[in-house]
Amino acid sequence: MRLWRTGWMIAVVSVAAGCAGMDRKECQLADWRAVGYEDGSRGMASSRFGEYRRECSDHGVAPDFTAYQDGRNAGLAEYCQPSRGFQEGARGATYAGVCPPELEDAFVINYDRGRTLHLLESELNSVVHGIDRRRARMNTIERELAAISTRIIADGTTGDERAQLIVATKQLAEERIRLGREIEDLEVLRKQREEELAVQRAELLGRL
């Protein structure tokens, strides 16, 4: 058990290092079956092995493709489950087309369901953020208008300055009206997105 854990830790370190380039020791000590399993369980494309091969060739080490492929196939069997497909789609992950034919159909169906949910949630969040940004700007406008009002009636303000401040007041007031209308439209859109999301979630629950 201790040897297995040591090999597994080396494999995990090697996988993480692969993103930035594997050094000589990592290439020499890597458990390529464990590396393949890790990549497969994460849905990594087969081109990943080519990256390891290029990195390790710089150190005169040839990765074990057979061991890597055996491990990757075992990892894909774990990754390519319908429930995992839904999870990957729901979190907005990209599917690299790695699942074997006998598992891919069910995986992709559930991935698409999760992806649809993710897109609806993203659209709703975008609308909510749009509303929040406009409300924050309206609050800023209120503070700016209050400050301008104080400057207009101040004794030291010249006639030219008052004229400029009046123009600024008009512009801010117009912007405030525009933002208010945009918020009203976005509130309607938010309600629509919330309803679409509720329907989608109900349909998904009905399929479980």
Residue spans per domain, the chain: 2-79, 109-207
The segments of the chain whose pLDDT lies below 50 read 1-20
Burial bucket for residue 156 (CB in 10 Å: 0-12, 13-18, 19+) = exposed
Helix, strand, or coil (residue 157):
coil
How far is residue 114's CA from residue 208's CA, in Å, rounded to a whole number?
13
How far is residue 1's CA from residue 7's CA, in Å, rounded to a whole number?
10
CA dihedral 199, 204, 206, 208 (to 10 degrees): -170
How far is residue 194's CA from residue 184's CA, in Å, rounded to a whole number?
15
pLDDT the model gives residue 22: 84
In this structure, what token pair is assigned to residue 131?
């509303």
pLDDT the model gives residue 208: 57
pLDDT the model gives residue 138: 98
pLDDT the model gives residue 79: 97
pLDDT the model gives residue 21: 72
pLDDT the model gives residue 204: 81
- pTM (predicted TM-score): 0.73
